Homo-oligomer: A and B are copies of this chain.
Amino acid sequence: MKFTCQKSDLYEVLPNVAKAASAKTPMEALAAIRLSASGQNLELTGYDLELGIRTAIPAVVEEEGVLLADSRLFSELVRRMPDGILQIETDDHLKITMQGGGTECQLAGMRADEYPDLPDIEQTQGAVIPQNLLKNMINQTIYAVSLDETRPIFTGELLEMENDALNIVALDNYRMALRTEPLPGQEAMKFVVPSKALREIEHLLGEDEKNEHPCVIRLDQHHASFEVQRYVVYTRLLAGEFINYRRSIPDHSKTEVLIGRRELIESLERCALLISEKNKTAVRFQFEEGKVLISCQNVIGSVDDTLSCDMTGEKLVIGFNNRYLLEAVRAIQGDRVRLFLTAADRAVKVMEEQGENSIAIIMPVQVRR
């Protein structure tokens, strides 16, 4: 293999591709990046059998070839090479030599024979989604993904296309985040994507406000690919039944509150100072006409806040897990958030001031009345 390319081109894509190389693996090949020089391109692939990222950069290829290079060391060496043209070649012993400016670096490469193939998606379904829309929808829901590996299906998010709308849902036993956006002209489909892949996709997605390069999704029964900018992200899908999340959405309320988002976040952050693994104290909310008393008290100290709010309906005292409420309120946009409550032991709906596109559901916890 022998080629030249711009160092800046190569370094720009390397950290992104490297994210799909496995940091901890007994299989050395999975810790590597696959470099393939052919035609007028250098193709780069990272793949840990769950998540794969592939891209290509322009290169002047003198001798075609395929080879693996340690992902971390190769990325770091490229980063530290002088700017400008980089010449990379390998010898019969798989030694990789990089040259540029007055600098020459060598490191050992590996044969690519045993590198796993990326999933060959025999497309049965597909969708096209504006980049900024998908980015925003992932960003506003992914906090609610479960970390509990014993129920794998909930460690991912449901992407659901139906009735000319896209729904993205994350949930566990105690809370749910749901984002809905109209997206006409797509075929109906449902699939659950691991959160690790979604975080990488979110990271690669750009603004693309004119929607000139939408994200193209292809999927078969077990895998999906997301074409994002110049990258293709491959992920396995999570198998199993995602419960009927719509049933968890409360359909009525006895108390409705509009409250300043910034003030609520600040109050919850104050309470967080008293809360730890050891002192998992709930935050108590007492909703009254025109105000809410927020309090948290344990052996460390206490916080008592009074925030003004618009309330309609019945007075109510209710408790929350501080982190669950904080993450939901942070993910909601706008100056004020709307809370729909029915009783101290019933799920609470958190939404934007207007509209129903962004919904968080949180189960309350017990506090003294």
Residues of A within 8 A of B (CB): 73, 76-77, 80-82, 102-108, 266-267, 269-270, 273, 300-308
Complex interface: chain B residues within 8 A of A304 (CB):
103-105
How near does chain B come to A115, taking the closest CB pair, in angstroms? 20
**Please, how many angstroms separate the alpha-carbon atoms of A267 and B100 in the complex?**
12
Contact of A103 among B81, B82, B267 (CB under 8 A): B267
| Nearest chain B CB to A33 CB, angstrom units | 15
Q: Which residues of chain B come closer than 8 Å to A77, judged between CB atoms?
A: 270, 273, 301
Known: A82-B266, A266-B82. A273 touches B76 (CB 8 A): yes
Q: Give which listed residue, B104, B302, B307, B308, contacts A106 with CB less than 8 A.
A: B302
Per CB-CB distance, the 9 closest pairs between chain A and chain B, nearest first, are A107-B301, A102-B306, A80-B270, A104-B304, A106-B302, A103-B305, A76-B273, A105-B303, A106-B301
Residue of B nearest to A296 (CB): B105
Minimum C-beta distance from A28 to chain B (A) = 14
Counting every copy of the chain, the complex holds 2
A103 to B269, CA, bound (A): 12
For this complex, 12 residue pairs linking A to B, each with C-beta atoms less than 8 Å apart, are A73-B300, A77-B270, A77-B301, A102-B306, A103-B267, A103-B305, A104-B303, A104-B305, A105-B301, A105-B303, A107-B300, A107-B302
Residues of chain B lying within 8 A (CB to CB) of residue A102: 305-308
Point out the residues of chain B lying under 8 angstroms from A306, CB to CB. Answer: 102-103
**Distance, CA A279 to CA B269, complexed state (A):** 45
A108 to B302: give the CA distance in the assembly, Å. Answer: 10
Contact assessment for B300 and A269 in the assembled complex, using a CB-CB cutoff below 8 Å: no
State in angstroms the CA–CA spacing of A190 and B270 once bound together: 48
Chain B residues, Cβ within 8 Å of A107: 300-302
A297 to chain B, nearest CB (A): 8
**A308 to B106 CA separation, bound complex (whole angstroms):** 21
A130 to chain B, nearest CB (A): 38
Distance, CA A195 to CA B107, complexed state (A): 39
Taking the nearest CB of chain B, how far is it from the CB of A22, in angstroms?
A: 19
